[in-house]
Amino acid sequence: MDGMSRRRFLRSAAAGAAGAGLVSASRIQPPGYGPGIRTEARMAPTPRPSLVKPERLRPGDTVAVVNPAGALFSATDIRIVVERLEALGLRVRTGEHVLSRHAYFAGTDEERAEDLNRMLRDPQIRGIVATRGGWGSARILDRVDYDAIRADPKVIVGYSDVTALLNAVHHRTGLVTYHGPVGISPFTEFTAEHFRRVLFHGEAYTLENPVRVGNDLTHTADRILTLTPGTARGRLLGGNLTVFTTILGSDFVPDTAGAIFFTEDIGEELYRVDRMLTQLALNGILDEVNGFVFGRCTNCGPGGGFASFTLEELLEQHTGGLGVPVWYGSMIGHIPDMFTLPVGLEVEVDAASGTLTLLESPVA
């Protein structure tokens, strides 16, 4: 079976299994380029659990602040985190080890996992907010109490390194998790609005970048760049590119067939972005998704090398021949104004307008 026939077969099978809408995009593969080539033998995916939504957050609910990854170095930082969440009308409980430090981690693997599991098992806790990212969440995935999550689904929110936890929980339990601000993120008006609309109000609505002209004749910030126009539907999956690629091949990665895949990153030289996109391709992920959304690559540049592709060129190389909607610049990433995205929920994307529509309530 040649590459195009294989892709048609995979996409029709994914659409039949997931009920995803047909994409209306079409592009020719750039000549002389072939990251769509992938290994034929792949492990059979773990059966997909039924979708589970946590109850929406309400004013007066108690949420936990835990730190599954990098250390904080100031008690003032955690005080600010608590005050932010209290400003949303929530009660806040902090993990025992939220200010612990074990080298660059917030405590040992055992301590960080125990903080998380203690909150997962507590029926009074209705949501869990990661304090920060950094590195460390993947090291505790085999210690998480997934049975406690199944027994009492809660809101779990974070981004960056927390990508590993969000995807592992969704894969193992079917729970919708939330790619959104961590505790030390600035809760700007934009960020707080989308946090509330998703987690408090449970709105099925369209997320689109703001148009803010400012002191100019046209708006220059937060623009989207359509690489392949079209519309598509699928489960929303993804997260930080570096973190997602580091857990590939493990038993903590959701089945991405028919998904709308989103990603973002920070501080990566462009050759490394190229390497990670190639890793997605070699794992068959790019071949099987219904749409691809790259949020922001903050402070991603060519580095000190002799020459470099631009990020736009890399995205075109890796996605231009997929025949699915692709755009860059969504409000996803290490930026002050960010969306809160429900991982695992059915969505529809329109690459021409750069919109992402939640097709059902993101919470129960």
pLDDT at 217: 86
Coil/strand/helix, residue 150: helix
pLDDT at 74: 87
Are residues 343 and 325 part of one domain?
yes
Are residues 267 and 162 part of one domain?
no
Enzyme catalytic residues: 160, 264, 334
Are residues 213 and 247 part of one domain?
yes
pLDDT at 222: 92
Listed residues 151, 183, 199: the one ending a domain = 199
- CB-CB neighbours of 308 under 10 Å: 16
Are residues 347 and 259 part of one domain?
yes
Are residues 185 and 240 part of one domain?
no
Listed residues 172, 199, 226: the one ending a domain = 199
We report the CATH number of the domain holding residue 107 as 3.40.50.10740
In a domain, residue 55? The reply is no
- The enclosing H or E element of 148 equals helix 146-151
Contact 354, 227 (CB under 8 A): no
pLDDT at 214: 84
Listed residues 199, 225, 247: the one ending a domain = 199
What is the Cα–Cα distance from 108 to 100, expressed in whole angstroms? 9
Number of domains the chain contains: 2
Q: Domain residues for 110?
A: 62-199
Per-residue pLDDT of 77-110, as tens digits, reads 999 999 999 999 999 999 999 999 999 999 999 9
Are residues 39 and 16 part of one domain?
yes
Cα–Cα–Cα angle for 240, 242, 248, rounded to 5 degrees = 100
List, for the chain, all residue ranges whose pLDDT scores fall below the cut of 70: 1-46, 305
pLDDT at 46: 60
Per-residue pLDDT of 200-258, as tens digits, reads 999 999 999 999 888 888 988 899 999 999 999 999 999 999 999 999 999 999 999 99
Closest Cα to residue 296, out of 338, 257, 325, 252?
A: 338
Are residues 144 and 86 part of one domain?
yes
pLDDT at 73: 86
Whole-Å CA distances, 107 to 8, 33, 67, 242 = 48, 45, 9, 23
In a domain, residue 240? The reply is yes
pLDDT at 2: 44
Maximum pairwise Cα distance, the chain: 60
pLDDT at 303: 77
